[in-house]
Structure 1
Amino acid sequence: MIEAFQNIFKIPELKKRVLFSLAMLAVYRVGCHIPTPGIDAQALSHFFKAAQGTLLGMFGMFSGGALEKLAVFALGIMPYISSSIIFQLLTVVVPAIEKLSKEGDAGRKKIIQYTRYGTIVLSVVQAFGISIGLEAMRGPAGELVVPNPGWSFRLMTVITLTAGTAFIMWLGEQMSEKGIGNGISLIIFAGIVARIPTAIGNSFRLIGTGELNVLVLILVCAVMFVVIAAVVFIERGQRRIPIHYAKRVVGLKTVGAQSSHLPLKVNMAGVIPPIFASSIIMFPATVGNFINVPWVQQVSKMLVPGRLVYDIFYVAFIIFFCYFYTAVTFNPVDVADNVKKQGGYVPGIRPGKETSDFLDAVLTKLTFAGAIYISAVCVLPSILIGKFNLPFYFGGTALLIAVGVGMDTLAQIEAHLITRSYEGFMKGVRIQGRR
């Protein structure tokens, strides 16, 4: 492993890409500490401490703590992710966008451009909503979070936060083009891992005060190691459907019989289900911070992490969105038709409808297994925080993203090393990403 990292700096191009990516991440982290004008930072910090377990807490996690300071990068990359998901879903619903997606590189660039426009629109809407919400917030002593509310503050906030998101989007694209790739994912990864030093410091502080037992912390660290290993194993898991191709004529040549496979991942939906599920189930808790109505407060208290009602709804929504998103992104009928057009078939299964039914049955079983796996990982934080009083949030969407991005990044670096005949990270083992 050490030799592999040393080999990175022996390849000029790879060294340049790695250093460029690190420099862009450093710029991103600096922007997470530059506050937006017109905010009482201390009052805002107290408010966010009470907002854990709400949408604000989740957005704060993705922004790397920038939202808690209302920094220029407070919106983070979430508007871009939301816009990407929207256009991915519209690809199935809107025929014009579906046609664009099938036009190759030109169509893909057009969809990316629409995604950028959607990001700006969502950023403006979210920034305006945040500015309105901030004017209604008060600190623990009743002081206003925004000392001078009004349209000047709202416009300043909208312009600042929208420009910050646009700049982050540009950073991600530059990292994908000139860095080691996966720029947007690396930005999310940096925001998540930025909280690790604080979590470690809080753990030692609680051990010093006797609030956290050393043996409990060691046990939890062992559980964390096992969970991360399980996530890596399952994220790489595939069900490979064998595909055989009969002899066929390609141009003036006759191609002999060939064998291949169709890989179906255990977790086809990725991290989309927990993001959607968290957004829906945390909405009442978020509303409860702004509306002082008894029944709203009661519902918001029930739907916070650690409560049984929250966990039940969370798991139910995750399972639903796993099936929904998989159905949107993978069409067994289209796959079966493409295999048939290429002269392929699944051994023992007739081409056409029987093949699509077979793929649908296999995918249904895999999706159920993937949904149970995602649910277990996402409910883990509630157990650790509620039962062991841990001062950090381990598991859930953050863990899935961090492990997945780490695997993808190592796979890309490994590919550069092997292409140039250098020793990789693991001898005799090929690191594979999520795709």
Structure 2
Amino acid sequence: MKNILNLLLRRTEYKSLYRRIFYTLMIMVIYIIGSNIEILSTANGNKNIDAFSNIGVAAMGGNFTAVTLFSLGLGPYLTAMLIVNLLALRNPEKLMLQTKKERQFKEKAFTMILAIVQAYYLLNMYVKHGDNRIHIMAMGMLVLIAGSMLLIWLADQNTMYGIAGPMPIVVMSIIKSIMQSNAQNDIHLKIIVWIAIACILLFCAVLLIIIERAEYRIDYRDILNTSKDKQSFIAWKLNPGGSLAIMISMSLFMIIKAIIELCIILITQKQVLTWMDFKHPLGITVYMILLFSLAYFLSLLMLNPKRKATDFLKSGNYIEGIHPGKQTESYLTHKARKISLFSGIMIVIIIGLPFYFTLIIPVLSKEIYLAIQILMLIYISINITDVIKNEMYFNRYKNFMNKYW
């Protein structure tokens, strides 16, 4: 083991990867420090925060159990990016004409609006009525929004100089959430129940890995490939959206819930919204619909059959029996919709369906929430592993590509 480690450390083509990993570790240290800096006393705050709220916020690098510098997490930013991209999906040609500055302005504008809503929602749970409430709320929102922007900047820096962008921050947040929930709740179950939960979790994890690794292939004719033995094909993953749909669906659900609750507070001065709670079937159903919709549209966005059809038209490649242009676009769009539909259904079954079991078997709700967090952790870890593999692959041939690029 020692010899293998020494060999890896001496491999010059992996030095860039080591620098990226070290940079990511430094950002993780900053995140841990910032997530433990409390900016508001929560001693008299809301102790009955929904368990799903903790999971949803943790899936975006945030924390609602305490008001810290990074409590908002990356939720406002990733949700804003999703909104901008889905709006642009209606007119891809217009998106191509937009400059980077224009896209960033739209993303930052949406991010600021969502951050203000979430900051007010979070502080409203902890800041009681009093003479200094307005000042405390104003200063608290300012610090929370600044902390969220700092975390977004760290995620951007990690994308450029580290590994996997915002994903390591999310992984650290989920691990912290799991540790906090286990520390607060003593779980005592029979050994047979633990074995059953472990078997179901293992089955779901294996199924998730298979779906993540599997791909759908569409054969086509490459005019530059004259070999009869080697067939060219389009390789589309069965789950193109990856873990992004799961992460953003939870953040978007929390934002929608926050907006509805804030509207009710302003109109009726009441804060209770039971039907959007995960102890209510309607709340779970709303989340399931949201999860499916995001998984479906994100998959379509990632596959982008229209751009693939345009590339075929430019290169001269074609699918046998399908005319180039509109017919190829229609054919690829039909295939992309089928893949996206499959992706949405499987994600809802694996991640969303277990939430209904918390209603059927409320005694096991804590264990089910724990299992969902572990599944999310596995899923995001798969994506991080893929990023590291790609980095190792490109580093191995970096000298060759630099020579001829």
The reply to whether TM is greater than 0.5 is yes
Q: Any idea what the Cα deviations from partners look like across 1:161-205, whole Å, max 9, x if unmatched?
A: 1211111112112222222x22212212211122233455567x3
Using the alignment, how far apart are the partners of 1:202 and 1:132 within structure 2? 23
For 2:235, the equivalent position in structure 1 comes to 263
Q: CA deviation at 1:119?
A: 2.8
Distance (Å, rounded) in 2 between the aligned partners of 1:326 and 1:194: 29
Counterparts of 1:64 and 1:337, CA distance in 2 = 38
Change in Cα spacing, 1:296 to 1:23, as seen in structure 2 (3 Å) is closer
Q: Which residue of 2 aligns with 1:424?
A: none
Aligned letter for 1:193? I
Counterpart position of 1:391: 366
Deviations 1:219-242 (A, max 9, x none): 212221221121121012211111
Residue deviations 1:246-294, cap 9 Å, x none?
Answer: 25xxxxxxx857853222222234455554477459956985697597x
- Kept in 2: contact 1:333–1:356 (CA 8 A): yes
Cα drift, residue 7 of structure 1: 5.6
Aligned to 1:138: none
Q: For residue 43 of structure 1, what is the aligned residue in structure 2?
A: 44
Structure 1 distance, partners of 2:327, 2:315, is 17
Question: Displacement of 1:89 after TM fit?
Answer: 2.1
Given that 2:292 and 2:345 are in contact with CA atoms closer than 8 Å, whether structure 1 keeps it comes out as: yes
Q: Residue 125 of structure 1: CA displacement?
A: 4.4
Compared with structure 1, are the counterparts of its residues 220 and 2 closer, same or farther at alpha carbon in structure 2 (3 Å cutoff)? farther
Aligned pair partner of 2:221 in 236, 239, 244: 244
Return 110-119 or 1-10, whichever deviates more.
1-10
Separation in 1 of the partners of 2:276 and 2:114?
A: 26
- 1:213 aligned to which of 190, 204, 207: 190
* Structure that is richer in helix per residue: 2
Q: How does 1:18-417 map to 2 (within 5 A)?
A: 18-36=21-39, 39-44=40-45, 47-53=46-52, 56-62=53-59, 66-93=63-90, 98-100=95-97, 107-108=99-100, 111-112=103-104, 114-116=106-108, 118-132=110-124, 134-135=126-127, 144=128, 149-179=132-162, 181-201=163-183, 205-207=186-188, 212-246=189-223, 256=226, 259-271=231-243, 273-274=245-246, 275-276=248-249, 279-280=252-253, 283=256, 300-305=273-278, 307-327=280-300, 330-382=303-355, 385-386=358-359, 387=361, 389-392=364-367, 393-394=369-370, 402-417=377-392
Distance 2:226 2:321 in 1: 20
Query: CA-to-partner distance for each residue in 1:106-150, whole Å, 9 max, x for gaps?
Result: x44653465345434432443245445544xxxxxxxx3x76533
Judged with a 3 Å threshold, the aligned counterparts in structure 2 of structure 1 residues 116 and 184 are, in CA distance, closer, same or farther, namely farther
Gaps of 5+ in 1: 102-106, 136-143, 248-254, 422-435
- In 1, Cα distance between equivalents of 2:109 and 2:282: 38
The percent of aligned pairs where both chains have the same amino acid is 20
| Whole-Å separation in 2 of the counterparts to 1:286 and 1:213 | 41
Number of residue equivalences: 385
Listed one character per residue, the Cα deviations across residues 373-398 of structure 1 (whole Å, up to 9, x for unaligned) are 111122344256452525352455x5
- TM-score (normalised: structure 1): 0.74
Query: 1:86 is aligned with what amino acid?
Result: I
Give the TM-score normalised by structure 2. Answer: 0.78
Residue 58 (structure 1) shift: 4.9
- Which amino acid letter does the alignment assign opposite residue 340 of structure 2? T
Which consecutive residues of structure 2, in runs of 5 or more, have no partner in the other structure? 397-405
The amino acid of 1:191's aligned partner reads S
Looking at structure 2, the residues matched to 231 and 5 of structure 1 have their Cα atoms a distance apart, in angstroms, of 31
